Amino acid sequence: MSKRIIISGGGTGGHIYPAISIANALKLIDPTVEILFVGAQGRMEMEKVPAAGYKIVGLPIAGIQRSLTLKNFSVPFKLMKSLSEAGRVIKEFKPDVVVGVGGYASGPVLFMANRRGIPTLIQEQNSYAGVTNKILSKRAKCICTAYDGMERFFPAQSIIKTGNPVRQDLVNLDEKRADAYTFFGLDPNKKTVLVLGGSLGARTINRTIAAHLGEIKEQDFQVLWQTGKFYISDSKKAVEESGATNVKEMDFIYKMDLAFAAADVVVSRAGAGTISELCLVAKPCILVPSPNVSEDHQTKNAMALVNVDAAQLVTDADCNEKLINEVVALVNNPEKCALLTKNIAKLGIANSAERIANEVLKLIK
């Protein structure tokens, strides 16, 4: 009889792509395993998971809005309905183990699995655990983490440091450097600054780059700028008007391995998945944590690197005033770049999805 596994969670790419990576790793280890995803209705996992070849069920769960809104009155009712639906899904699918990757849906599913005595595993991506995972961890059999010191939040005996699943093409980047320059049309004789803001873009970072194109134009480095789809038209217009020929703007970079291969310095938000990729590719980076994330996770993720001299930080509030000066200073400081590279490389963990998949399979009696 084949093993049956539920993977629950989602809401953002930072939760969904690691979840799919874990599923893929499980299938590689045991092709007969049956996997069902459980997500939140209307969230991006309902599109991304089927595109990756997996079945998904959606719960009506929703989070509490930070602002006062009538939507918050429906949250308790959606939670109760989601708990009922999660119980029904578990009863019908009969999983051997349930995996939670964070996001709205993981709470009800893991809660109901725990009530039924089904082993659960939590994959905590951040350096600062969320409230839901802290509650669920008390009955979880295994908690896979990406950072040291997580016994502050979880039972120490249940913690295994596995790292966060990342794209497996982010290895041997030096061999891809020449191809990267050709692919993006970059000058191989110039240093390259890669600016990232996630798949949708980061407003503060984008506005800062646009506002300082005149200064960037005078520099001896080039910028590869992922703007996100909402900002690409304004960014293109700004680059054209500035005459900055050393800036290449793109709405989305599909070949991230080549982007990292070309990069000498990276400017990025500080989501857990992005941080794990930066540790693996070992590039000097300046992190600009998003302030619009629950429990300020991104700042805490960034500080885990800053505290060991593995990255630099510019706050969102200081971005417009300080970011470009920090970029210029870092690009022109090879000693600092070498130090950041050396220290961030120590934090990289390869094969995380495979490690987590093996822990999942260990829980099946």
* Helices and strands counted in the chain (H then E): 15, 13
pLDDT, mean of residues 169-175? 86
Distance CA 138, CA 123 (A): 14
In sequence order, what are the beta bridge partners of 224?
194, 248
Domains of the chain by start residue, with CATH: 4-163+351-362 (3.40.50.2000), 173-345 (3.40.50.2000)
Tell whether 167 is in a known binding site: yes
14 known member of a binding site: yes
213 burial (CB, 10 Å; 0-12 / 13-18 / 19+) is buried
The reply to whether 199 sits in an annotated binding site is yes
Is pLDDT at 97 greater than 80 in this prediction? yes
Which of the four pLDDT bands, split at 50, 70 and 90, describes residue 71?
Answer: low
Helix axes 334-345, 319-331, angle to 10 degrees: 100
To the question of whether residue 12 is assigned a binding role by annotation, the answer is: yes
**What pLDDT is stored for residue 233 in this prediction?**
93
What is the model's pLDDT at position 350? 84
* Residue that wins the pLDDT comparison between 297 and 356: 356
pLDDT value at 10 more than 80: no
Split at pLDDT 50, 70, 90, the class of 200 is low
CB of 26 closer than 8 Å to CB of 35: yes
Res 297: pLDDT:
86
274 annotated to bind ligand:
no
pLDDT of residue 176 exceeding 70: yes
pLDDT, mean over the chain = 91
Query: Helix, strand or coil for residue 323?
Result: helix
364 is in an annotated binding site: no
pTM, two decimals, is 0.82
